[in-house]
Amino acid sequence: MAELLKNIYTKSYIENLALKISKVYLQFNKQGFISSIFCPLWEEYELKMRMRHIALTLNTFLPFSYKEQLEILKEVSKDFYSYEAMFFQDFVELFGLEDFETSFAALEVFTIDSTSEFAIRAFILKDENKTINQMKLWANSSNEHIRRLASEGCRPRLPWGISLPKFKKDPLKILEILEILKNDKSKYVQKSVANNLNDISKDNPHLVIEFVSKNLGISKDLDWICKHASRTLLKQAEEKILNLFGYDDSSYINIINFKYDTTLQMGEELNFSFDIQSEKNIGNARIEYAIYYKRANNKHNKKLFMISQNEIKQKTKSFAKKQSFKKLTTRKHYKGKHFISIIINGKEKIKKEFTLL
């Protein structure tokens, strides 16, 4: 993925960056900056290393104090957006760890059109209490991007982010921030809160179960956060979390008319269908299917996929699905025996064998 994303930094992109800087700092050496960016090792750099290289080069070509550099970069950043602009935040992470106040103010500016969730983690590791107190202030901001930073920046398992091992072990300080944000009306913030809780559930499931038990049923938005935060626990068929969402007994639900491809060629799709049936309305039902993928060592790796998780106000319901066996960069398929199963409310109801040719 990064091998494609890194190509956002084209020559025209860097030339535009140099032009915008020169409008704020008139003596800026545009050509020297551009030449330094496209150094002999540039093609070997992946996305994050290219961001780091841009940040380091900015420091070289802006011969001022850190505060003066940031005044220039804050003005320039207004013309750059999304993930590719994160070299501004990387600059703060590299050169601002000794000046928290100036750095926090800059990260606020940079996060609005991009995101400062990666850079802030270095400050957490440097001075946890000071940074967490700042993030609590951000959690009360009028700007949704700054409020999101308060949650996203302290996720214990943030993808691509510096690890926060202390928060994996004890996330109570994170939960204090999430308490401030849990009733936020912004979907952008709600999603971050839910993702943070889902991270926490992987190391401290009891804390997320406790959060859900206290907050489920209060509001529609908070219900959504609880559900999205519980997705890993639901996949793991954690009994307490299943019960909280009403996905408990499924013994009265039967699977009938289960049909599936018993063989398929590499690259084809596995088609399957089935009906669920009950003598009463089915009610809350979390319906998943699992593929037991054959591995190179002839063992099987179980992968879950969602079908439906709703209240079913009828006695029967039909489902038809298909699963691709095309080549993927994230999964290699091996010929031989595989299995498919149907799971209802965390209980595997049926499991069948099929062969990949």
Name the pTM for this structure. Answer: 0.89
Asked whether 128 and 172 are in contact (CB, 8 A), the reply is no
Domain ranges of the chain: 2-244, 254-356
Is the pLDDT score of 1 beyond 50? no
pLDDT tier at 109 (50, 70, 90 boundaries)?
Answer: very high
Q: Scanning the structure block, which residue is given the tokens 């699977």? A: 255
Of 123, 135, 110, nearest to 55 (Cα)? 110
Asked whether 155 and 196 are in contact (CB, 8 A), the reply is yes
Rg (CA), the chain: 25
Give the span between the Cα atoms of 230 and 210, in whole angstroms: 11
User: Could you report the per-residue pLDDT of 144-181, keeping only the tens digit for each?
Assistant: 999 999 999 999 999 999 999 999 999 999 999 999 99
pLDDT tier at 200 (50, 70, 90 boundaries)?
Answer: very high
Give the span between the Cα atoms of 216 and 211, in whole angstroms: 8
User: Could you report the per-residue pLDDT of 239-282, keeping only the tens digit for each?
Assistant: 999 999 999 889 999 999 999 999 999 999 999 999 999 999 99
Give the span between the Cα atoms of 89 and 86, in whole angstroms: 5
What's 113's DSSP letter? H
Buried residues in 17-35 as b, exposed as e (16+ CB within 10 A): bbebbeeebeebbeeebbe
Please report, as a single letter, which amino acid is at residue 174: I
For residue 312, give both structure tokens. 């079913």
Output the CATH code of domain 254-356: 2.60.40.10
166 to each of 65, 125, 155, 204, 270, how far by Cα in Å? 33, 9, 11, 12, 44
Question: Where does the chain show beta strands of DSSP type E?
Answer: 254-260, 263-264, 269-277, 283-294, 300-312, 316-324, 336-344, 347-356
Of 164, 160, 162, nearest to 47 (Cα)? 160
Give the span between the Cα atoms of 227 and 246, in whole angstroms: 12
Q: Which residues lie closer than 8 Å to 93 by C-beta, 6 or more apart?
A: 118, 119, 122, 123
User: Could you report the per-residue pLDDT of 26-68, keeping only the tens digit for each?
Assistant: 999 999 999 999 999 999 999 999 999 999 999 999 999 999 9
Output the CATH code of domain 2-244: 1.25.40.290
Other Cβ atoms closer than 10 A to 198: 18
Q: What is the pLDDT of residue 5?
A: 80
Give the span between the Cα atoms of 21 and 132, in whole angstroms: 32
C-alpha 94 chain-centroid distance: 24
Q: Scanning the structure block, which residue is given the tokens 């992968």? A: 303
Q: What does the CA dihedral 235, 218, 168, 204 come to, rounded to 10 degrees?
A: -60
Asked whether 124 and 104 are in contact (CB, 8 A), the reply is no
